[in-house]
Amino acid sequence: MVGGERWRGAIAVDNFRSRNVNSPLKMIFVYSMSEVLQHLREQELGSATLSEGYILALDLGTTGNRAKLFDSSSKAVAQTYKELTQYYPQPGWLEHDPQEIWHSSCALAQSAIQTAQINANEIVAIGLTVQRETCLIWDKTTGEPLHRAIVWQNRRTAVECDRLIYLGYESEIYERTGLVIDAYFSATKLHWLLDHTPDVDINNVLAGTIDTWVLWKLTGGKVHATDHSNASRTMLMNLTTCEWDEKLLDLFQIPASILPQIQPSLGTFGVSDATLFGAEIPITARKGRPASFFVWSWLRQPRFDEMYLRHW
């Protein structure tokens, strides 16, 4: 990796099992700016000249959202930020408005483009880095959320998690996903949403974490996908296959048809709708925020310790 070229918004995770121990080992590979541009060249994406173009990073966090523009030397040329409204319906519950997240993302991106005094067709790629376990469901016809997003800190499903532990599912879920049973992760949140949202037509519903929601909106409803770093935090992705685990979907009563396709973190996720920024911009990288800010390892531990190496 070339020093100084590290791009904060484009990081990928490979999930695999260590050959020496039984517990899962996750390795983080940080993509440099040159690697992102090389990917664009190979895919023949982007209308701008790659050596002179810009990359737009959308950093969608728990307390606020940020848009940041980088030039080809990894220099930040514009940055915008806005706080996110926190909703506390009950003690221990925390929700976000998905529409606020989406509209804020668009407005911040547009503001960053204006601040940098560039045209949208000079942007060669968009990358997303997001809060991970936070999830929602929405109507795939109207594009309207069916409930506010349940945030990762939310504890409303703690009793359900205790029930699963009592029934003896803890070791099996850990073996399949590398995660302990906890309300922190998305599985019980999605089950709660499907169970408590009135008049849900399961044939007309889509579900996902924040990256999936924003990607779906960015592409005008054309792409319903997530990446390994976000899917691996739902407590639904099998670490061996890196696909949705059918047994766990049955356990949590979540139809596979409503979940996004799982893809590598650096890849092709479609293009932004031309009406949003004035040009179709390739969306080529996505990552959960914690993995975007640190390199961590997990070996022989039922839980992991995270060291944040913030670049912002």
Share of the chain above pLDDT 70, in %: 75
Predicted confidence (pLDDT) per residue in 115-135, tens digit: 999 999 999 999 988 888 999
Distance CA 55, CA 175 (A): 38
Question: pLDDT confidence of 310, banded at 50, 70, 90?
Answer: very low
Distance CA 180, CA 23 (A): 12
Mean of all residue pLDDT scores within the chain: 81
What is the pLDDT at residue 134? 96
Q: Which amino acid is at 185?
A: F
* Backbone dihedral angles phi then psi of residue 228, each to the nearest 5 degrees: -60, -35
| List of residues 6+ apart from 213 with CB closer than 8 A | 98, 101, 102, 136, 138, 145, 149
pTM over 0.85: no
Q: Which of 270, 248, 268 is nearest to 259 (CA)?
A: 248
* Residue 171 near residue 120, CB atoms below 8 Å: no
Q: What is the mean pLDDT of residues 99-109?
A: 97
- DSSP run (H or E) holding 214: helix 210-218
Predicted confidence (pLDDT) per residue in 247-303, tens digit: 999 999 999 999 999 998 878 899 999 999 999 999 986 544 444 333 333 333 433
Predicted confidence (pLDDT) per residue in 18-51, tens digit: 222 333 323 333 344 455 555 555 555 444 445 5
Share of the chain above pLDDT 90, in %: 68
Predicted confidence (pLDDT) per residue in 166-182, tens digit: 999 999 999 999 999 99
What is the pLDDT at residue 124? 92
Distance CA 178, CA 176 (A): 6
Distance CA 242, CA 245 (A): 9
Q: Which of 170, 184, 180 is nearest to 92 (CA)?
A: 184
* Residue 130 near residue 62, CB atoms below 8 Å: no
Strand partners, 24: 17
Q: Which of 24, 280, 15 is nearest to 174 (CA)?
A: 24
Q: Which of 268, 265, 227 is nearest to 31 (CA)?
A: 265
Distance CA 103, CA 238 (A): 33
Domain ranges of the chain: 6-293
Strand partners, 263: 227
Topology, domain 6-293: Nucleotidyltransferase; domain 5 (3.30.420)
* Residue 179 DSSP label: -
Using the CB atoms, write b or e for 81-110: b if 16+ within 10 Å. Answer: beebeeeeeeeeebbbbbbbbbebbbebbb
